[in-house]
Structure 1
Amino acid sequence: MTWRGPTYRMVDGERIDGAWCHVWRRYRPDGEYYPEDLIVFADGAITCGEGTDLAGLGRMLETGRLAVTRPDGPPLPDEPSKWASRHGEPLTPEGFLLDVADRIEELNERPTAGQRCREAIRCFQQEQTESNRELLRAAYLAVPAHLRIYVLGDMDRQDRPLRILLTDIGERVDGDGPVVTAQMHQDVLDYFDRGDQGVQRERERRAVQHSDDPSGPGRPALVSHETVYPRGWPEEPGLFMLRNDFPARIEFTGECYASVLHGYWATAAADDADRSRIKDAASGREARDLGGQVKHRSDWPSVRLAVMAGLLRAKFTQHPELAQVLASTGDARISYTGLWDSPFWRDESGGRGRNWVGRLLELTRSELAARQ
């Protein structure tokens, strides 16, 4: 059973994040089991052919309507020794319910059972009392049994260090493992200390390598919407100045264009006559429509990004008032949306748009700041 994501549902305009996995479900008491998607959401709602919650999921597992493993699958081989086994505990309905509860915690950005167990380890390292060892034992046992071997993130030792530490001196680990000594307990504590030191070294290394990362959260994303002004642009169009069809005469590669769209589509044209017609179009939108109908240069796919970057650079360096509007967006991500530009240039829901105009606007903004 593997969790997948992300997924979500909308409730009253609010996005509720979720995760999903496959389970086995039957619709009649004597019916066959079929694979079914089980989806868990951050608000605790669960869907698996029908809506339910954690308690309802427990009842579905208890009555056999759901199974967490294939009912007619081959039985798991018997392990000759729990201590020597390299496999985790088998997945059970009880363990699956704990795992689902963990997904809900994770979706709400709250600590999972595994994270709480690691925090209990740190508490025991700081104060090695019997009460803290009992708290650590409870935190370890709260981890779904089939996931305990992963709790330390060490696929060589798995969770053996914890099993040693939670076994009393003089007792056998797991009943069939080695007899625990005080030195074995100390070795486990040294193992945890080495892990902490390794984590600290990695943090210090990343602090150096990622020293140019922003120190705080950036501004919310700015969405540049396409708009229509049938009676002409207003006196203060504001952020609509960022649009490529905004009339701002620019000089680029020795030619003058009425807007970025005029320059882009005229430069794309392979024929001089077509290039001239596009250049003289009455509006940016007309230039785009004409440019989409003519034959393009053979190298256009490989140079169009550079052309757009040059046109945007020309627009905002040749018009200081437009540069001020672009600079006012700060460090916000610019989402350039629209209806008529291709998804290569615009942002589109579901990650289908590449938003190259938005990205190049951010690059131009950074270049303007560097010049200042």
Structure 2
Amino acid sequence: MRAWTSPDPGTPPARGPAVRVFDSSTRALRDVTPADGPARMYVCGITPYDATHMGHAATYVAFDLLNRAWRSAGHDVRYVQNVTDVDDPLLERADATGQDWVELAERETQLFRTDMEALRVLAPEAYVGAVEAIPLIVPMIEDLQQAGSVYDVDGDLYFSVTRDPAFGEVSGWTREQMLEVFADRGGDPERAGKKDPLDCLVWQHERPGEPAWDSSFGRGRPGWHVECSAIARHHLGAAIDVQGGGSDLVFPHHEMSASEAQVVDPDSRFAQAYVHAGMVGLDGEKMSKSKGNLVLVSKLREAGLDPMVIRLVLLGHHYRSDWEWDEADVSAAGARLEKWRSAVAKGAGAPTAAVVTDVLAALAEDLDAPTALRLIDHWADATDFGDDTEPGAGEVIRRLVDAALGIAV
């Protein structure tokens, strides 16, 4: 599957420091400097049954900041993202609307690409659909079978979570906490025949009227969690630097994906750090496709809103925070963008050395974009108030906000 067209990531005016992010599994900041080679990041992608909303956009802009912070620190980055282009929500939406599920997935994936391009999110090196990954997923399930961690329930195959001694370390949740949400997040704890209510589906045998593919264990389709495990292991190896996604993926998705990978590769911790973006709400509830309380990137763009204003709204909230979409933030972000562009256009401006250092340091310390924005604000204010002591200051700031923040001024 093709990704979107990536913008030129640019080069900041100075090298940034080593990057630290909050690791959900240890609940502490963690240095994610790669041990050798490129930094390796896997971020869970969309299930394409509806358009990109602000919750999606916030997540992918957050990990775009990490991508850029690594690059600013001098690292190459190998970034992989999936598309769950066959799954129950997609099939259910297609059936409810009378659409072909393949056409629905292709249309919404293309809309997602155009939204990411508009927001200047750096494209992944590998953008992989679940359907095209089936030749990777089947061998991984076979490996799990050989490890004695897969069993059959009426033709469906389940992963035995207790086979991974580290199960539970990603979320840190108790068994009771897991059981409280498992059914609402795609699990089936009440299914008869399972060895453990928390065991997760890795292969669903063919159902009438649903898509299916051949495998050594019969026709069917893969489960959600093993999809990401297989794609990440194939493209990034047994141990990656960052597994990322929204905070609603901590359990079960990231917990299960990690355990499946660790059973196949028992000598490797799946990810050095598990990094999660907060939830975006509207009218007091988390923004989600199932609830329909969505602010869509595409609709804002169609209404003429500059995508850089959208990106500045997102950057104005720390990536780990939960927050509510507010039109007042849009007005403030528009004014901020106008102020930055005016100051940069002056050419000469206030001194930039400390600004560059402090902005890169803020982003390297758990992707603190709100602090970075305020630092650029201070420079723009000083420049607008008449400080023109540094020739070419505008170009320095333009390069900085382009490379580090993804904002085109």
- TM-score, normalised on structure 1? 0.22
- TM-score, normalised on structure 2? 0.21
